[in-house]
Amino acid sequence: MKAIIEVGARGAAVQAARQQLASAQRGGAVDYRLAFESARTLFSELTPARLDLLDTLRRTGASSVYALAKAAERNYSNVHTDVAGLERLGLIERDDADNVLVPFDAVEIRLALARAA
């Protein structure tokens, strides 16, 4: 399963949710979809540091926030804040032992360019 993050027009989040629901009802594999209304919003939520954390966590596997901070060679407090943001977006989950993990094999960011006039 992968996470697909995209920038779309107004209502893109609703459209993404409908696509997920339709795929689930057909019994197909359901990719996680996350839509933002602007590139500015997307990159304010998914900063380079947060993307690096996703990569580090995917490589190291489920771990505590403290262990993740050590693996990423970052300050615990900053990593804790970023983990909370990524959890809120649905890109990180916690297991029964309260470790954080990335439940996706891949994360795709799709950004359509404006059409030429």
User: What is the per-residue pLDDT across 24-57, written as a single tens digit (0 to 9) for each?
Assistant: 566 666 688 888 888 899 999 999 999 999 999 9
Report whether 54 contacts 65 (CB < 8 A).
no
Residue 117 lies in a domain: no
Q: What is the CATH number of the domain that holds 38?
A: 1.10.10.10
What integer pLDDT is reported at residue 89 of this predicted model?
95
- Residue 96 is classified by DSSP as T
Total Cβ atoms within 10 A of residue 42: 18
Residue 22 lies in a domain: yes
Domain limits at 18? 2-110
pTM of the model: 0.79
Total Cβ atoms within 10 A of residue 57: 25
At 69-117, the pLDDT tens digits run 999 999 999 999 999 999 999 999 999 999 999 999 999 998 877 665 6
What integer pLDDT is reported at residue 9 of this predicted model?
62
Count the domains in the chain. 1
